[in-house]
Amino acid sequence: MISQLDRDLTELQQAAGAYAARHRRIAEFGWPPGVRIAVNFTLDFDSMLLRRLLNEPPMQLAKGEFGGRVGIWRLIELFDSHHVKATIFTPGRACELYPQAIRAAVESGHEIADHMWEHRVPKEAALEEDHLAKTAAAIEKISGRRPVGTRSGHSASLLCKHEYIYRSEGSADQLPHYVVDESGNNCLVHLPFHYVIDDAMFFSFAWLGSENAAQRITDPEHVFDIWWAAFRQQYREGGYLNICMHPFVSGRALRVAMVDRLITRMKSLPGVWFPSCAKVARWCLEKFPPLAPAALPQTPESLLGMSHHSREGGNLELQGHSGSSGPPLPRG
C-alpha cells in the first residue's frame, strides 16, 4: 500500500524533474577571448514605488525618494569613473518621476531594462500585458531603444511576444543559462543573482513594514569582504557575478565608497569584464544558441503553484545548483 509520504515524494520528484528540464545549462560555456569573469552591476531603481504600493508612512517614502534624487546620480558617476556599464532595471513609472537621471544613465552608455510598471505584476492577463507594454514604451521614449531584459515575474510567453531576450531573477544556477516555460517554448537567457550579493539584505532598516527583529544595518566593510570573497570564488572558476543594488540603499556615501573600493580591487586582476546584462545575453545567444523546443515532463497539478513566479511581485524559488544530482541538462 502506497503511503501519503510516498505519494508526496513522488510528486516532489516529478516537480523537480520538470523544473530541471526547464532550466538548461549551456555546455562548455565560455567568455570572449581574454575574459575570465563577467561582472554585471545591476540597479533596481525602485525609488518609493514599492513602498507606495504597501502604503508605508512618509518617512519610509522619503528613503525611496533619496534613491531618485541622490543615490542614482552617485552610482552613475561611480560606474562612469570605472568605465563599468551597468544595467538599471527601471519601473515604467520611474521614467516619469526621474527622467533626468535616466537620460544621464543612457548618455553614459548604461542599459535601461524593465522592472515592471509600478513594481508589481498584475494577476489579470490583459492588465499584465498593458503594464509591460507601457513600461517598454516609457523606456523607449526616454532612452531611444526598447528594453530587451527584465527583472520581474512577467510570463515568458508575454516577454517573448514583446521581443525580450533575457530575465535576471532567481538563483537556479551560477552561470548564465536558458529557461523555457512549462510548454518547453518561450526560451529566455537567464542571468542569475543571489540575495547574498544584494545590498538590501545587508542594509535594510524598517524594510517593507518589517518587525524590529528583522532590521539589518551591516558594516560596509563586512559586506565588502563577503562580496570580494564571492567574486574571487567565481574568478577562480571562470564564472559570473551579478551584483544587485538599489540606489536608495547603496547610494549612501559610505556604501558608494565601499563599492568604489570593490571595483578597484576587481580591476586589479586580469580578464575582468564589466558589460551590461544585454551584452552578456547576446553573447550567449550568438555563441551558444538554444536548442529546439523539446517535450517537458509535466509538473503535478498539486504543485503547480510552486513551479513559477507569483504574479504579485516576488517569486518562490526551487533552487538548483551545478552540484545537484541527476543527469546534466542539455545545452540551451
Question: How far apart are alpha carbons 246 and 225 in whole angstroms?
Answer: 19
Report pLDDT for 174: 94
Q: Over the stretch 216-273, which tens digit does the pLDDT of each residue have?
A: 789 999 999 999 999 999 999 999 999 999 999 999 999 999 999 999 999 999 999 9
- Annotate 18-49 with b (16+ C-beta within 10 A) or e (fewer): bbbbbbbbbeebebeeeebbbbbbbbbbbbbb
List helix spans (H) across 144-276: 156-161, 220-237, 247-250, 253-267
Q: Over the stretch 120-137, which tens digit does the pLDDT of each residue have?
A: 999 999 999 999 999 999
Q: Is the dihedral of CA 166, 172, 176, 179 positive or negative?
A: negative
Q: Does 330 fall in a domain?
A: no
Of 236, 243, 272, the C-alpha closest to 83 is 272
Report pLDDT for 65: 85
- Could you tell me if 16 and 299 are in contact, meaning their C-beta atoms sit under 8 angstroms apart? no
Question: How far apart are alpha carbons 47 and 90 in whole angstroms?
Answer: 9
Q: Is the pLDDT of residue 325 over 70?
A: no
Cell digits for 46? Answer: 525602485
Q: Does 316 fall in a domain?
A: no
CA 3 from chain centre, in angstroms, equals 40
Q: Is the dihedral of CA 210, 45, 234, 226 positive or negative?
A: negative
Q: Specify the CATH number for the domain of residue 132.
A: 3.20.20.370
List Cβ neighbours of 305 (8 Å cut-off, separation of 6 or more).
316
Q: How would you classify the pairing of strands 111-114 and 87-90?
A: parallel
Number of domains the chain is built from: 1
Q: Over the stretch 45-94, which tens digit does the pLDDT of each residue have?
A: 987 766 666 676 776 777 778 999 999 999 999 999 999 999 999 999 99
> What single-letter amino acid sits at 136?
A
Cell digits for 323? Answer: 552540484
If pLDDT is split at 50, 70 and 90, which confidence band does 320 have?
very low
- Identify the three-state secondary structure at position 40: strand
DSSP classification of residue 169: -
Kindly report which listed range (108-117, 121-130, 180-189, 311-320) carries the lowest average pLDDT score. Answer: 311-320
Cell digits for 244? Answer: 544587485
Q: Does 124 fall in a domain?
A: yes
Q: Does 297 fall in a domain?
A: no
Where in the sequence is the domain holding 95, given as residue range(s)? 39-290
DSSP 115-153: --SSS---SSHHHHHHHHHHHHHHHHHHHSS---EE-S-
Report pLDDT for 318: 26
Q: Is the pLDDT of residue 36 over 60?
A: yes
Question: How far apart are alpha carbons 223 and 199 in whole angstroms?
Answer: 8
Question: How far apart are alpha carbons 12 and 128 in whole angstroms?
Answer: 30
Report pLDDT for 296: 53
Instruction: Taking residues 188-214, report their average pLDDT.
Output: 82
Of 235, 184, 174, 240, the C-alpha closest to 25 is 174
Q: Is the pLDDT of residue 213 over 80?
A: no
Question: How far apart are alpha carbons 2 and 4 in whole angstroms?
Answer: 7
Q: Does 191 fall in a domain?
A: yes
- Could you tell me if 168 and 278 are in contact, meaning their C-beta atoms sit under 8 angstroms apart? no
Q: Over the stretch 262-314, which tens digit does the pLDDT of each residue have?
A: 999 999 999 999 999 999 999 999 999 998 765 555 555 544 444 333 334 33
Q: Does 279 fall in a domain?
A: yes
Q: What phi and psi values does residue 106 have, to the nearest 5 degrees?
A: -65, -45
Cell digits for 130? Answer: 498593458
Mean pLDDT, the chain, rounded, equals: 86
pTM for the model: 0.84
Report pLDDT for 212: 62
- Identify the three-state secondary structure at position 42: strand
Q: Does 88 fall in a domain?
A: yes
Report pLDDT for 315: 33
Q: What phi and psi values does residue 60 have, to the nearest 5 degrees?
A: -75, -35
Q: Does 314 fall in a domain?
A: no
> What single-letter amino acid sits at 133?
A
Q: Over the stretch 150-162, which tens digit does the pLDDT of each residue have?
A: 999 999 999 999 9
List Cβ neighbours of 36 (8 Å cut-off, separation of 6 or more).
235, 238, 269, 270, 271, 272
